Amino acid sequence: MCLSTVYKTSQSPENIVLTNVQRIEDKGGTILLTNIMEQQVAVEGRIALADLVSGYVVIEEAAS
């Protein structure tokens, strides 16, 4: 199973949005994340980087 940690803006511990993410859905400007415990988090923005070999994704938040 391939699980990822999702970060806002950059890959650093203080920017973690959700860990053990199994599913990422793009809902037209909202990224819906689901982890292995079925916890869901929605983030307004876009995927800036997905490194699935290293197990991380970076989301660039939408401008307010």
DSSP annotation string for 16-39: EEEEEEEEEEE-SSEEEEEETT--
Cβ 58 vs Cβ 7: under 8 Å: yes
Residue 22 pLDDT exceeds 70: yes
Q: What pLDDT shows up at residue 58?
A: 98
For 37-52, how does the pLDDT look when each residue is reduced to its tens digit (9 = 90+)? Answer: 999 999 999 999 999 9
Q: What pLDDT shows up at residue 1?
A: 67
For residue 52, the SS3 value is coil
Residue 2 binned pLDDT confidence (cut-offs 50, 70, 90):
confident
Name the residue ranges covered by the structural domains of the chain.
Answer: 4-61
CB atoms within 10 A of CB 3: 12
Q: What pLDDT shows up at residue 62?
A: 84
